[in-house]
Structure 1
């Protein structure tokens, strides 16, 4: 990741090797009907419960939100069709305008396409306007 992306993540409380207790987040997602795949757990342990102030793009990205209703938030069937795999919502990006997802394989997506093959690539692409693959 670039120095700019690292600084923004560190300012939000992230650090290399971060591992938080995700039991509450995991329970919330499971109660809503999601399968919390190992790759999703890994993402949440490292990047969960962060409120990221993206000063480069003047946006916020929030992984501390809790989804409250599977039906109201949508089952994200169209996004899963595009991705070709199951998705689990893990936050909101672009100042709350887009849902952030992690797939069963660990790829990271948003409501409009693929951000990266993994979390670090996704944060770099999101913050530094790198490669993005729209649906």
Structure 2
């Protein structure tokens, strides 16, 4: 029995955003039909280093695409504010027809924060550019 390995751009983005290392996939394994429309990001400073990101996109394949978009926004925001790191607190995702919205909260900090869902802002912003996911 053969198993078929299908790696999509979201899988690559999610893996790179979470710090996983993946081998390069042949071009034929990448989902080239994925063409989302990123409709924008709104940021709200909640308290000190706690920031709320509201993202909206059309054509997402799953919540992972929305989560990746929010992570890209958080990483760029951290860099703009002079910080090098962010930590994911929570994300809620809703869909209406083909429009997906994400409501994500991150903390931003100059040093690596405690916790499991931390991101290195420079690395994530670079990965976002490679995967054509816009940032703030």
**TM-score normalised to the size of structure 2?**
0.21
User: Whose RCO is larger (CA < 8 A, sep 6+)?
Assistant: 2
Higher-Rg member (1/2): 2
Q: Which structure shows the bigger proportion of residues in strand conformation?
A: 2
